[in-house]
A and B are shown apart, each in its own frame.
Chain A
Amino acid sequence: MAMPGFLQQLRDAMYPPSRKQAILGLFQDAESAATAGDALKDAGVPDTDYDFLTDSPYPEGSLGEREEKHRLYLYPFIGALLGLSSGIMITAMSQVAYPLVTGGKPVLSLPPMAIVCYEGTMLGAILFTVIGIVFESRLPKFVLGLYDERITQGFLGLRVNAEPEQRYEVIQIMNSAGAVEVKTDQ
């Protein structure tokens, strides 16, 4: 079924069409996949143009992948600040709006405010951390790139976005490294 025109435009705006072609190599073990990755690097393919796809986390650097930078640690602080502000606002405004003077003490009672503010702070921090995890993981991803369901059965995928002129070289590298299958998006 063809995609409606406006959706096509939206998709093109989000994911600009590229002349690069996707190639996916499937490997049975980490060593072969890492060898293919090294060979791609030697062939001049930028490390931003290929990704390893696995069904479980491998120790960082074990596949020779690029180092990933992220700003996840900022999110909880922003969330905590917002949560604390909300907590202060809710507790202070509730007491001011409906003052209960007890024994001549100040209307704003700090110990109970601290409890609600603490929970607000933690809730804000956790909510923003989750938003951060999703956002920094580049999710949701509406268009799944070239993929193979065997990846979640233990195979390792090496997906390359290669220039058309590099296509055959990339396929050859993958086959030499021991790929059980090489797929392309064309």
Chain B
Amino acid sequence: MQEGKVLPAAQINRDLLRSILETPRWFWPVVSLLGAIVLAASITVGIMINTGLGITGLNYKVVWGFFITNFVFWIGISHAGVMLSAILRLAKAEWRRPATRAAEVLTIFSLMTAMIMPIIHTGRPWRILYWAFPYDFARGIWPNIRTPLVWDPSAILTYLTSSTLFVIIALVPDFAVLRDRTTGWPKLVYTLLAMGWEGNPRQWKLQIIAGVLLSALILPVFVSVHSIVSWDFGMAVAIKSWHSTVFAPYFVVGAVHSGVSAVVFAMILLRWAYGWQDYIRHEHIDALGRLLIVVATGWFYFLVMEIIFGIYGLEGDELAVRALQFLPGDYGVAYNVWMIVFVGITYFLPVILWLPKAWRRNLWIMSAACISVNVGMWLERYLLFVPGQANKQFQTFTWNDYLPQWPEALIVGATFAFVSMLMLLFSRVFPLVPLYDIKEGDILRTEMQVGRRTLTATFRED
């Protein structure tokens, strides 16, 4: 049964545009704080480019550390947008309505953040241009398309462009609402952005088809992006524990797991910050919690399969890495302890918290579970990438370890501030809950009498 009540359009406008038409007192201090963290990280990146990657913990064995872990983590978060928006739109899930835009916007900002990571990781960011793009006509230098360095940008840029256009197209009707509610230069800007939208049946028909058609087109891109990111590792045959054939679906499901958890947490924060209790309701968080149980269990299946596939071949080098990951040893870093922590906080703890309905409707418990998943998923990537490189390999002969240094910790920490800051700035100028989608849901909502109960239902033709 659906909860909440039908609200007049004027109230929906007033409530959902509050973040734009009124600036809360906490807004600029919070944005400034986040901006200061981002600035500190930017200066650190400058120092790193000037002095070289020697100031990080990266070394001749472990060449992919915090930055690449963070890259995969943010790519994972970006999968929430399409998962929630496209799949639920195609499935006509009514409870998707308040969550779609925040998820799509989180996709865009996560992707942007993810893209920064490998660029600064190279140490010579400007060289990315001729590694990835065929532009250097003068010197006859062309990218080697057999490397994931080319596949990754093609997939990520496609996903970023698609997601951005998806958000912009869905924003056009809301730009028109803003055009009608603002004055002065903001009105001029929103008038330009609204492109003359007036809300006639043809425009609405195209808008509805656009949602479905773009969802259907972006879905394959969504699957391909994390598959290709997984091949960054899968194609590195020399590194044991990386070249598993199950990596692509494992990465995609893991991305959905962390992404949807991040969206749930973001929705709870937005509900609290802007007082959107009538729009982001307990029923929405409850539904997302149920979805997460399924996604988490799917992810856990792939995790177990990945480990079994690794051990099943009984190759000496592979077993050595697995021993490093799972058994106590004298390697300096107790990976086995981190492994237990990671599986516990990524699967067992949150799923236990999501099982009772009352807990799924408790926003504190849901927030804790979703944060737990994301800390765990970050650890998952770290524990997947680093031990494989630390292991003794053919022609390297020695073991080595990786101890991240302060520049990496600061930059990685600042990426969270960066995404939060961008989300807040977005909410200051554009509505984070789609107005027309909420209004459409209210139009289609009705009450039906079943015996002695009056139930709220939504009717929709196919």
Contacts and interface: CB of A to CB of B under 8 A. Distances in A.
B317 to A, nearest CB: 23
A66 B173 CA distance: 21
B144 A100 contact: yes
Interface string B87-111: 0000000000000000000000000
Contacts of A56: 9, 173, 199, 204, 435-437, 439-440, 443
Contact of B142 (A51, A98, A129, A136): A98
A109 interface: yes
Contacts of A94: 134, 142-145
A100 B201 contact: no
B448 interface: no
B338 interface: no
B275 interface: no
Contact of B161 (A115, A126, A147): A126
Interface stretch (B72-80, B205-213, B261-269, B396-404): B205-213
A17 interface: no
Interface in A70-91: 70, 72-73, 76, 90-91
A153 B203 contact: no
B214 A130 contact: yes
Contacts of B204: 54, 56-58
Interface in A37-66: 51-60, 63, 65-66
Nearest to A69: B202
Nearest to A102: B146
A56 B12 CA distance: 12
Contact of A55 (B9, B143, B151, B155): B9
A149 interface: yes
A65 B146 CA distance: 54
27 contacts: A53-B198, A54-B204, A56-B204, A57-B208, A95-B145, A97-B140, A98-B141, A109-B146, A112-B146, A112-B151, A116-B145, A122-B221, A123-B161, A126-B162, A129-B213, A133-B169, A133-B207, A136-B206, A137-B202, A138-B203, A139-B195, A141-B198, A152-B13, A152-B176, A152-B199, A154-B8, A157-B199
A33 to B, nearest CB: 11
A70 B439 contact: no
A51 B165 contact: no
Interface in B369-388: none
B12 to A, nearest CB: 8
A119 interface: yes
B196 interface: yes
A142 interface: yes
A115 B151 contact: yes
Interface in B141-193: 141-147, 150-151, 154-155, 157-158, 161-162, 165, 168-169, 172-173, 176-177, 180-181
B451 interface: no
Nearest to B220: A122
A93 B142 CA distance: 9
Contact of A126 (B155, B200, B206, B217): B217
Interface residues of A, number: 61
Which among B142, B172, B437 has the highest number of chain A CB atoms within 10 Å?
B142
Contact of A133 (B143, B201, B206, B437): B206
A140 B161 contact: no
A95 B143 CA distance: 8
A157 B203 CA distance: 14
Contact of B195 (A73, A141, A149): A141
Contact of A154 (B10, B134, B158): B10
B205 A153 contact: no
Nearest to A50: B200
B218 interface: yes
Nearest to A124: B158
Given A57-B207, A94-B142, A119-B154, A140 B195 contact: yes
Contact of B140 (A63, A98, A143, A145): A98
Contacts of B460: 59
A182 interface: no
A113 interface: yes
Interface string B205-244: 1111110011001101100100010000000000000000
B237 to A, nearest CB: 14
Contacts of A59: 444, 460-461
A152 B158 contact: no
A144 interface: yes
B140 A118 contact: no
B195 A129 contact: no
A139 to B, nearest CB: 5
Contact of B155 (A102, A119, A129, A143): A119
Given A54-B204, A59-B461, A129 B198 contact: no
Contact of B154 (A65, A115, A151): A115
A148 to B, nearest CB: 9
Contact of B145 (A112, A118, A154): A112
B197 interface: yes
Nearest to A100: B144
Contacts of B210: 72, 129-130, 133
A54 B436 CA distance: 10
B165 A127 contact: yes
